[in-house]
Amino acid sequence: MAEETDYSRARELMVKKQLIPRKIRDESVLSTMRTVPRHMFLPEDMRHLAYSDAPLPIGQKQTISQPYIVALMTQLLELDESDKVLEIGTGSGYQAAVLASIAQQVYSIERFESLAENARRILLELGILNVEILVKDGSEGEVKFAPYDAIIVTAAAPKVPQPLLDQLADDGKMVLPVGGRDGQVLERWRRKGADFSHERIAPVAFVPLVGDYGWDAEEHKISWWR
C-alpha cells in the first residue's frame, strides 16, 4: 500500500511539474495521466524512474515515451468517449492505456511480437479491455477497422504514410512525427472530406517507423530514442 501511495504521489507531481507548466490543459488527459500506472509498463528494476521527465528503454531498441510527449500527442487528438483510435507503435502499451482511458476503442499495431505480447499482458492485468493489439507493418495501418476518428503514430516517418491518411475518418485527426534521422517535427493532420490540412507543433526525436511506407529496416539499424 505504501509503495502504491508513493506512485500516486509521483504521478501527481508529474502532472504538476511536467504537464501543466507545458500547457497540457485537457482535463481528460490530465485525469488520465494521474491515474494510469506508467510504472507497470516498465521492468521492475526501472520502475523507480517511471515518472521521470524522460523516455526509457523497453527492449528491441524501442522506448516508452516521455510523459509530456504522451500527454501532448493525446491532447492534440482532442478525443471523446465515442472515438475509435488507431495507434501505430504499441511499444510498452502505456500510450494505448492512456488512449483507452478516454476513447471507446483502440487498435494498436506493433511490429515486434515480444513487445505486443508484453503489452497485452499488462493491459489485461490492469483490466483495460478496449485495446486490440495487432502484429504487422504499422505504416500500412489496418483497413479492417477503418475509418478512425483519430490516428497516433509513435514512431518517426520520413513522410506521412498515404494509407494512414486514407484510413482517417472525415473530421478525424492524426498526430505523428515527420522528418529525418536526426530529428523530426510533430505534426497534426485534419481531414475534411477529400481535403487534408496540417500544422507543425514542435521539434521531437522518435524511433523510426519501419515499414513499406516508412523507413527501411536494414538502412536504420541505429538506436533512435523518443
Tens of pLDDT along 79-131? Answer: 999 999 999 999 999 999 999 999 999 999 999 999 999 999 999 999 999 99
Dihedral, 11, 12, 14, 20 alpha carbons, nearest 10: 140
On the question of pLDDT at 1 being above 50, the answer is no
Which entry of 65, 101, 108, 139 is annotated as an active-site residue?
A: 65
Tell me which residue of 45, 82, 48, 50 sits closest to 63, measured CA to CA. Answer: 50
Residue 224 has pLDDT above 60, yes or no: no
Which structural domains are found in the chain, ordered by start?
53-204 (3.40.50.150)
Query: What DSSP string runs through 55-121?
Result: -EEEETTEEEPPHHHHHHHHHHHT--TT-EEEEE--TTSHHHHHHHTTSSEEEEEES-HHHHHHHHH
Catalytic annotation present for 65: yes
d(C-alpha 215, C-alpha 115), whole Å: 20
Distance CA 194, CA 60 (A): 38
Confidence of residue 225 (pLDDT cuts 50, 70, 90): very low
Burial class (CB in 10 A: 0-12, 13-18, 19+), 13: exposed
pLDDT, residue 182, reads 81
Which carries the bigger pLDDT value, residue 37 or residue 60? 37
